Amino acid sequence: MLPSASKLTRWTVLIIVATVMMAGYIFWDIVSPLSTSLRTPIEQGGMGWTQAEYGFYAGSYSFFNVFLFMLFWGGIILDKCGIRFAGLLATGAMFLGAGINYYAIQSIDPNTTVHIGISLFGLVPEQIKLQVFVAALGFGIFGVGCDITGITVSKVITKWFTGYELASAMGIQVAMARLGTASALSFSPLIAQSWSISAPILTGAVVLLIGFLLFIGYCFMDIDYDRKALAVQHNIQTPQPQNLNAQHESIDNPAKQDESFRFRDLLQVLRNPGFWLIALLCVFFYSSIRPFMKFATDLMVSQYGVAKTTAGWIVAIIPYGTIVLTPLFGMLYDRIGKGIQLMLVGCAILTVCHIGLAIPSIHHTGFAFVIMFFIGISFSLVPSALWPSVPKIVPIKMLGSAYSIIYYIQNIGLALVPMLIGRMNDADPSYTTSMTTFCAFGGAAVIIALVLMAVDKKKGYGLQNANIKS
């Protein structure tokens, strides 16, 4: 039996960990609105990157997570070593990666190239700027930390909000993450214009340092929660001091609880068709929107004639809309249910929006505003139901590993799709080919949502049920 934390304590925890995650999203998207500046010739003040090099950099976020299975190991560390250890490790990795990223853009000569000898089916340029390569190395380390922070924060919220406002809490966390994205898209070009291209990256690194310090603060609250949990477990007011360290380890480390982590339980999760459908829906949906946002500012500049400093604000309509809508849809899921309908409608809206952007004859700024608004609605609907659905399919003792596998599969898309889009844009600068590709990903997500609805009816996962227990 776990202690019942006060409402104030629960929501304080949420604000802390959501702010940590927001810091990660600020840095994740802080380079996106600089893509046109990075591709500007060196003699004109840019870095002379190609579309393929920018796609390599954008995809590098997921390289270590995919090819070194870092997310898988991160989930195991989370389930076996606990929230505090995993969270400190992950937030520290984010800050380290950001520092390397800043060093690359600030200090490495963009004229120097390096031969990496790995083409990855033609997606990776064999000759690449050393600056791009080192920046990608830093972004990859950051990506490991950011995604492990993501699964850690999801487990923190599940720990404190199960039986309460779980979807609402996750919705607010997602909304704050989107605020981070919106802030990066909006202000990064202005910071770069006032100082230099590397200045926004330094700003993001400082924000990540603040996030690291905040998570240290959360750890003290987590220790206090575990102490009270042990008091309830042993039916005493205060645990014996001589046993406190071992008891803390037992509570924070699921491998030592009665409901312990076992690898055979992981195999049971992997046999669950609902889990795989959620994972596939996740990868196709996020592959159709996150890489799109990496290239959307350049799309606005090159195809819609928008100024570099304004393009980020247009794209920022997407995350700004989610700040309000994601918690609202989360509350709807908490009280009414219908999680699969929320995901299905969101995927359908996104697909229609990409179809609109793929039509080359419609290149009006007002049209772009409307499209970004509806993509924002889509970006609110799907996450508000997708992430709270996972605990309905997977037991909490396996939640860290389950989230890590879903993130891993998602990262395959986030690694390969930006490189694919970069190559496509080099071949077809009109963006027609790349936007058609995004349409295909959105359509696949719609089909998977329909299959998930049928499987949920058969298996009885409860994805259509409300989260708040009456």
pLDDT for 361-406, tens place per residue? 777 888 889 999 999 999 999 998 998 899 899 887 777 778 888 9
* Cα torsion 116, 120, 121, 124: sign: negative
Cβ neighbours of residue 339 closer than 8 Å, sequence gap 6 or more: 333, 385, 388, 389, 463, 464
Cβ neighbours of residue 263 closer than 8 Å, sequence gap 6 or more: none
Query: Is it the case that residue 181 has pLDDT exceeding 50?
Result: yes
Element (H, E) at 224: helix 199-233
Q: Which residue has the higher pLDDT, 278 or 309?
A: 278
Query: Is it the case that residue 206 has pLDDT exceeding 70?
Result: yes
Q: Which residues pair with 114 in a beta bridge?
A: 128
pLDDT at residue 251, rounded to an integer: 40
Sequence length of the chain is: 470
Tokens matching residue 167: 């979807």
Nearest Cα residue to 94 out of 119, 130, 70: 70
Query: Is it the case that residue 282 has pLDDT exceeding 50?
Result: yes
pLDDT at residue 308, rounded to an integer: 83
pLDDT at residue 291, rounded to an integer: 94
Spatial separation of the C-alpha atoms in residues 128 and 45, rounded to whole Å: 19
Q: Return the CA Rg of the chain.
A: 22
3-class SS letters over 236-284: CCCCCHHHHHHHHHHHHCHHHCCCCCCHHHHHHHHCCHHHHHHHHHHHH
pLDDT band at 242 (very low <50, low <70, confident <90, very high): very low
Query: Is it the case that residue 258 has pLDDT exceeding 50?
Result: no
Query: Is it the case that residue 233 has pLDDT exceeding 80?
Result: no
Query: Is it the case that residue 313 has pLDDT exceeding 70?
Result: yes
Q: Are 17 and 176 in contact (CB under 8 A)?
A: no
pLDDT at residue 72, rounded to an integer: 82
Residue type for 169, please?
A
- Complete DSSP assignment for 105-132: HHHS-TT-EEE----TTTTS-SEEEHHH
- Complete DSSP assignment for 317-368: HHHHHHHHHHHHHHHHHHHT--HHHHHHHHHHHHHHHHHHHH-TT---HHHH
* Residue matched to tokens 């399919």: 393
Q: Are 413 and 283 in contact (CB under 8 A)?
A: yes
Give the rounded percent of residues in the chain with a pLDDT score beyond 90: 57
Choice among 31-40, 214-223, 248-257, 267-276 with the minimum mean pLDDT: 248-257
Nearest Cα residue to 394 out of 266, 253, 250: 266
- Complete DSSP assignment for 57-102: HHHGGGHHHHHS-HHHHHHHHHHHH-HHHHHHHHHHHHHHHHHHHH
pLDDT band at 117 (very low <50, low <70, confident <90, very high): confident
Q: Are 437 and 325 in contact (CB under 8 A)?
A: no
Residue type for 150, please?
G
Spatial separation of the C-alpha atoms in residues 155 and 127, rounded to whole Å: 41
Cβ neighbours of residue 165 closer than 8 Å, sequence gap 6 or more: 331, 334, 467, 468
Q: Are 84 and 252 in contact (CB under 8 A)?
A: yes
Q: Quick one: average pLDDT of 316-333? A: 88
Query: Is it the case that residue 279 has pLDDT exceeding 70?
Result: yes
Q: Quick one: average pLDDT of 189-211? A: 96
* Cα torsion 59, 60, 64, 67: sign: positive
pLDDT at residue 452, rounded to an integer: 96
pLDDT band at 266 (very low <50, low <70, confident <90, very high): confident
pLDDT at residue 304, rounded to an integer: 87
Q: Which residues pair with 129 in a beta bridge?
A: 113
Q: Kindly list the structural domains of the chain, giving each domain's residue range(s) and its CATH number in brackets, ordered by start.
A: 1-224 (1.20.1250.20), 272-469 (1.20.1250.20)
pLDDT at residue 99, rounded to an integer: 98
pLDDT digits (tens, 9 = 90+) for 403-425: 888 988 998 999 999 999 999 99
Average confidence score pLDDT of the chain: 88
pLDDT at residue 247, rounded to an integer: 41
Q: Which residue has the higher pLDDT, 462 or 237?
A: 462
pLDDT band at 245 (very low <50, low <70, confident <90, very high): very low
Q: Quick one: average pLDDT of 118-131? A: 80
pLDDT at residue 3, rounded to an integer: 61
